[in-house]
């Protein structure tokens, strides 16, 4: 069951890939797991930047695939907020607080981004869970992108890419 769920998360990342570098990073993930064979002499690590937004004076980051979701989790600190679409494969989204209180408008905007880049993003409203980074844990030996979390609240939002607030 876990393997099927993981394969579906990779498929979801493939469907949302926006560039060749996104695809290359997914390929690297599958090579690292031994699901694809590496053919060549030397492997160069592929690191695609997060989607990055400036919303209400806060930096909002969104992963593009399982590897980026893991990297995003390592980037966030206690006090930063982490978001994930409930019951869907989705990118992880983080709000960097820099020690400031995050306004509701910023939280809703980040949840809309998370909903948009989820398997539920094509339909109506999506439930998005949000919690402080310190309540998100990566279990030992878990596949890329898999976490467990507690102490969360759920927002119900319409998916929105917020492209106008994305930083290139």
pLDDT, tens only, 4-36? 777 777 778 877 877 777 777 778 777 776 777
Tally the residues of the chain.
168
pLDDT, tens only, 49-63? 899 999 999 999 999
**Helix, strand, coil proportions of the chain in percent (round to 5)?**
35, 25, 40
Q: Which SS3 state, helix, strand or coil, does residue 86 take?
A: coil
CB-count burial class (<10 Å; 0-12, 13-18, 19+) for 139: exposed
> Up-side HSE of residue 62: CA atoms within 13 Å toward CB?
31
Domain extent listing, the chain:
51-167
């Amino acid at each position: 069951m876990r393997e099927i769920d993981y394969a579906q998360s990779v498929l979801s990342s493939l469907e949302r890939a926006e560039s060749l570098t996104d695809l290359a990073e997914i390929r690297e993930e599958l090579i690292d797991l031994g699901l694809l064979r590496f053919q060549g002499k030397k492997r160069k690590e592929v690191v695609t930047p997060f989607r990055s937004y400036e919303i209400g004076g806060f930096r909002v980051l969104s992963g593009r695939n399982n590897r980026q979701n893991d990297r995003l989790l390592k980037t966030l600190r206690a006090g930063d907020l982490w978001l994930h679409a409930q019951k869907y494969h989705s990118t992880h989204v983080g709000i960097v607080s820099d020690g400031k209180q995050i306004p509701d408008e910023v939280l809703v905007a980040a949840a809309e981004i998370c909903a948009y880049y989820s398997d539920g993003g094509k339909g109506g409203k999506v439930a998005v869970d949000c919690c402080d980074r310190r309540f998100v844990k990566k279990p030992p030996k878990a596949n890329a992108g898999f976490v467990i979390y507690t102490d969360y609240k759920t927002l119900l939002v319409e998916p929105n890419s917020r492209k106008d607030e994305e930083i290139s």
